[in-house]
Amino acid sequence: MLDIIWEKVKQVLSSRLLPISLVFILLISLLINRLFTLQIVEGEEHSEDLSLKYTKTREIKSTRGNIYDRNGILLAYNKLIYSVVLEESTKLTTNQEKNDMLYQLILLLEKYGNTIENEFAISLDENDKLYFNVDDTAVLRFKRDVYGLRSVDKLTKDQKAATAEEVFNLLRHGDSQYGSRFDISDDYSLKDALKIMTLRYAIYTNYPKYNQIIICSNVSDKTVAAVYENSSTLPGVEIKQQTYRVYNDSVYTAHILGYTGLISSEELEDTPEDSDYNNSDVIGKTGIEKKFESYLAGKKGLETISVNSAGKFLNVLERTDPVAGEDVYLTINSKLQKAYYKIVERSLAGILLSKINNSTDAGTKGDIRIPIYDVYFALINNNVIDISTFTEDDATGLEKQVYQKFLTKQKEVLAEIEDLLAINSTTVNSAASEEMQDYLSYIFSELKENDILISDESKIDDGTLSVSPIDPKDGTYKNYVKNKISLSKFLQYAISKNWIDLAKLNIGDDYYSTDELYEKLLDYIKKMLLEDNNFHKKIYKDLVYSYKLSGSEICLLLFDQGVIKYNKEEISKLENKAVSAYTFITDKIRNLEITPAQLALDPCSASVVVTDVKTGDVLAMVSYPSYDNNKFANKIDSDYFMKVNNDLTYPSINRPAKQKTAPGSTLKMVISTAGLEEGVIDPSETISDKIMFDKITPSPHCWSSAGHGAVEITTALEVSCNYFFYELGWRLGLDSSGVNRDNTGLKKIAKYASLYGLDRKSGIELEEAEPQISDKDSVRSAIGQGSHNYTPVQLARYLTTVANSGTLYDLTLIDKVVDKDGTVILDNNAKSKKLSQINDTTWNLIHQGMYKVGNGNRSSTSYVFEDFPVKVAGKTGTAQESESRPNHALFLSYAPYEDPEIAVTVVIPNGYASNNAAELARNLYSYYFNVDDKDKLVNGEAILPESGSTSFTD
């Protein structure tokens, strides 16, 4: 007995991680537990033949490699933690014994705040209804494993159609064909049975069987002690030392690094057959962690151990040590990355402040403004103020007061909706109040979104034969769209046409008249609205705009919910109206106590890509806003995961690699190249800007209503003359007989866009959206419109090629890979190709034009770089996506002009004007070249636009 205890002691002491007090607790727990066990099972213990020995083989996980920046600054590493692991025990022979042990384990873990981490395809909703929590493909794979089949194709029609409840019951109780399966007693609640089933299923699908399954990771000292103390009644359960992934300065590099996590069944199935991955492995899920998994993961070890008949460890018979993963060094300069992220945030805050006004004025199409009431509501709309806490027992007085206002308004709104949807209502949407029009439109869209009102055949569930999709040619439907009939009359008509999926209304098999079915639909709508958080937010929006929920109350809620640090003086001023809510909020935005990311108002996002033009290395790749990948790694923080997924700014999107936008006028270097190389314009030839280009219909206009006069190519780039480039697009489409053919022009544009790499991904070692060269309207495509669509990193590659006069790099984020002995096993350099077919004259003209953009007298951005000590060459771009939202702002540039070192790509979605992107770029250059005080650039207040954020469109 003592040698067994001593073996446990050595395991504990070898970790050197536990505090000495915990070590003593564990020793005492083990000793008491062992003595207690001897007393209870004395006869059995002494009757065992402990001389019988058995062998077990188990794997030893490798240590994952670290990730560093280009200067050796540590970005991702591992720390040692303790996890609870499980393996199938031969001591438990019946289902009841297994289930009872697992339930005891679950209770013990939950007592100390732990949750089961193992994935299971069935969950329980708030109404205690079972549902599949994975997509349709994963559900079929899950069913394949449940039914013990080799492939999804072997599933029968009934098996494919089996509901979550049917599969659950099969696993819980079995049937005549599949036996007793897990045989989980009905004495367990549905919730507890699901927890037990999750672990039983993890054991059932575990392969190879000797692998230990991770149940909970990074558990507390109290959990470790409790598991050791109860080890005699938890056969197969152990505490195991493991590594835990940690990311430094995580927010700034999250989209580049990605994160790790437990391998899913789908990921495991997609691994090569000869791989040694199993369902207990942690792998890279996204980013560099995923792309360089083969380097970072290392190689597992194996050990064969000897145990006695009681399953107790005796000694190690054979061991193959694991091989640690290699370290990956990035091209990223992490200090630059962090600084640029902060400068981006300050600049966005400044643009917002320049547009916020203390009224309800939203401006005009050409001058969009932000009413302060939009700001107040944004704090609720983007969940900065959590309205769900208003109903909690510990809600503050103010929260309860605001909730009562909501209930009063909700009652009024629902009553009016009930009148408008009454069976005899003939009130068309346009005749209702503006407020109610919004609610009725929302109801219609939600019925379609929830597949109650079927919009197309793909929304019809298999076997639902009595449902058909809306016929867009139907006269009654057209009348509804044209506001000629009420929503009430349309929905009743939809029922008669079988456009409503009645099965989702839970009406059973009873017969109902159309009127009765409509009443059932109204019941569904009312219940939907009562439970719909987005509908609740609409009510709060109306409260804000009707001044029933004041700006001061919104501001005070920020203190109540801990969004802003408690400040007695500020609270007093708000309560006594010594400071206005407008002043308070704008001050908080200016100080970045409230960030653009929190508000989710335009603009709230941006991408910055910085490259070394001589190597193709990516020095910085900023995606704003971002998220904390520490809370996604290892085991996902479910609350944080939900918060990120519900965030209206979509912080998990890697914008430089995934967010595509029209390039606008930044594409004009491509068109300049095409025009000069195809000989449709001479280097010194001028084109007179006639403002309206009437060679095509409808006729596009130059952005300047006054025109630019006669301009040659460098001035055309400087002033971004659309007319000039319309003419180039037209000429590129002329065939040998002088006839313009749109397809001819598009092919030539595509030829030169492809030369700059815009027909393929940029080369970075991350997932990236596919670029799109325009395939329509060669004239408009010549100014970056048409259907051009590129990510910022693709534009950065094109810009880098321009800056270095024709070396096209496959951009890279990887510097090198080094093993644990310090040997470089991958010395990476960006692949490149020289564009020798482009003449030096063409390069010189393009460079001169871009120089004029940053320094010319006629450039709209000349003020940005006036007196700037480093000469910057660039090109502005503006892209319109919606008339109701601001234009996208782009600025592509490089510096120094005389001997280019870096290229900077700035894209601000809905950033109003390209000037804003240019001003941001100026601040980025200022930091890089040490022009201004770095600390003030990074840590100061919001940076207000010098241009006043005018809506200049180039």
Tens digit of pLDDT for each residue in 223-265? 999 999 999 999 999 999 888 999 999 999 999 999 999 898 8
Contact status, residue 815 vs residue 329, Cβ threshold 8 Å: yes
CA 320 to chain centre: 40
- The Cα 866–Cα 487 span in angstroms is 59
> Helix 372-381 crosses helix 581-590 at what angle (to 10 degrees)?
70
Average pLDDT rounded to a whole number, residues 607-611: 98
Contact status, residue 26 vs residue 14, Cβ threshold 8 Å: no
Three-state DSSP string of 834-872? ECCCCCHHHHHHHHHHHHHHHHCCCCCCCCCCCCCCCCC
Task: Return all residues near 193 (Cβ < 8 A) that are at least 6 apart.
Answer: 172, 184
Radius of gyration (C-alpha) of the chain in whole angstroms: 33
State whether residue 84 is helix, strand or coil. Answer: strand
For residue 866, the one-letter residue type is E
Question: Higher model confidence: residue 639 or residue 2?
Answer: 639
Q: Over 50: is that where the pLDDT of 901 sits?
A: yes
Confidence of residue 47 (pLDDT cuts 50, 70, 90): very low
Confidence of residue 55 (pLDDT cuts 50, 70, 90): confident
Q: Which class for 623: exposed (0-12), middle (13-18), buried (19 or more C-beta within 10 A)?
A: buried
- Cα–Cα distances in angstroms (integers) from residue 665 to residues 345, 753, 849, in the given order: 25, 14, 13
Rounded to 5 degrees, φ, ψ at 108 are -65, -45
Q: Which class for 649: exposed (0-12), middle (13-18), buried (19 or more C-beta within 10 A)?
A: buried
Q: What pLDDT digit, counting tens, does each position of 815-846 carry? A: 999 999 999 999 999 999 999 999 999 999 99
- The Cα 125–Cα 841 span in angstroms is 67
- The Cα 137–Cα 173 span in angstroms is 25
Q: Over 70: is that where the pLDDT of 49 sits?
A: no
For residue 183, the one-letter residue type is D
Q: Over 70: is that where the pLDDT of 585 sits?
A: yes
Q: Over 80: is that where the pLDDT of 387 sits?
A: yes
> Degrees (nearest 5) of the Cα angle 13, 15, 17?
100
State whether residue 924 is helix, strand or coil. Answer: helix
Phi-psi region of 562 (alpha: psi -120 to 50; beta: other; left: phi over 0): left
Q: Render the burial of 454-491: b for 16+ CB within 10 Å, e for the rest.
A: beeeebbeeebeebebbeeeeebbeebeeeebbbbbbb
Rounded to 5 degrees, φ, ψ at 132 are -80, 130
Across 179-188, 304-313, 383-392, least confident range: 304-313
Confidence of residue 311 (pLDDT cuts 50, 70, 90): low
- Strands (DSSP E) contained in 127-232 are 130-132, 213-216
pLDDT for res 180: 78
Q: Over 60: is that where the pLDDT of 213 sits?
A: yes
Q: What pLDDT digit, counting tens, does each position of 507-548 carry? A: 777 778 889 999 999 999 999 999 999 999 999 999 999 999
Residue holding tokens 């590659």?
797
Calculate the average pLDDT of the chain.
Answer: 91
DSSP single-letter state for residue 664 = G
Q: Kindly give the pairing relationship between strand 370-371 and strand 356-357.
A: parallel
> Degrees (nearest 5) of the Cα angle 296, 302, 303?
145
Task: Return all residues near 909 (Cβ < 8 A) that are at least 6 apart.
Answer: 602, 603, 605, 606, 655, 659, 661, 888
Q: Over 60: is that where the pLDDT of 8 sits?
A: no
Contact status, residue 299 vs residue 323, Cβ threshold 8 Å: yes
Q: Over 90: is that where the pLDDT of 480 sits?
A: yes
Confidence of residue 638 (pLDDT cuts 50, 70, 90): confident
Phi-psi region of 485 (alpha: psi -120 to 50; beta: other; left: phi over 0): beta
Helix (H) or strand (E) holding 645: helix 638-646
- The Cα 596–Cα 346 span in angstroms is 9
Question: Higher model confidence: residue 7 or residue 61?
Answer: 61
Q: Over 80: is that where the pLDDT of 602 sits?
A: yes
Contact status, residue 710 vs residue 872, Cβ threshold 8 Å: no
pLDDT for res 377: 98
Q: Render the burial of 802-817: b for 16+ CB within 10 Å, e for the rest.
A: bbbbbbbbbbbbbbbb
Q: Over 60: is that where the pLDDT of 17 sits?
A: no
- The Cα 954–Cα 938 span in angstroms is 30
Question: Can you read off the two tokens belonging to residue 322?
Answer: 């694991």
- The Cα 89–Cα 98 span in angstroms is 9
For residue 534, the one-letter residue type is N
- The Cα 145–Cα 206 span in angstroms is 11
Q: Over 80: is that where the pLDDT of 708 sits?
A: yes
CA nearest to 115, candidates 32, 200, 220, 33: 220
State whether residue 72 is helix, strand or coil. Answer: coil
Q: Which class for 65: exposed (0-12), middle (13-18), buried (19 or more C-beta within 10 A)?
A: buried
Across 203-217, 392-406, 661-675, 689-703, least confident range: 203-217
- The Cα 456–Cα 448 span in angstroms is 10
Q: Over 50: is that where the pLDDT of 36 sits?
A: no
pLDDT for res 20: 54
Confidence of residue 27 (pLDDT cuts 50, 70, 90): low
Question: Can you read off the two tokens belonging to residue 532?
Answer: 């719909």
DSSP single-letter state for residue 110 = H
pLDDT for res 41: 36
DSSP 382-439: TTSS-GGGGGSTT--HHHHHHHHHHHHHHHHHHHHHHHHTSTT----GGGS-HHHHHH
Q: How many CB atoms lie within 10 A of CB 419?
A: 13
Cis peptide before 896 (omega within 30 of 0): yes
Task: Return all residues near 510 (Cβ < 8 A) that are at least 6 apart.
Answer: none
Per 3-state DSSP, what percentage of the chain is helix, strand, and coil (rounded to 5)? 45, 15, 40
Q: Kindly give the pairing relationship between strand 327-330 and strand 67-68.
A: parallel
State whether residue 617 is helix, strand or coil. Answer: strand
Question: Can you read off the two tokens belonging to residue 398?
Answer: 């103010």
Confidence of residue 209 (pLDDT cuts 50, 70, 90): confident
Contact status, residue 842 vs residue 848, Cβ threshold 8 Å: no
pLDDT for res 952: 54
Contact status, residue 222 vs residue 112, Cβ threshold 8 Å: yes
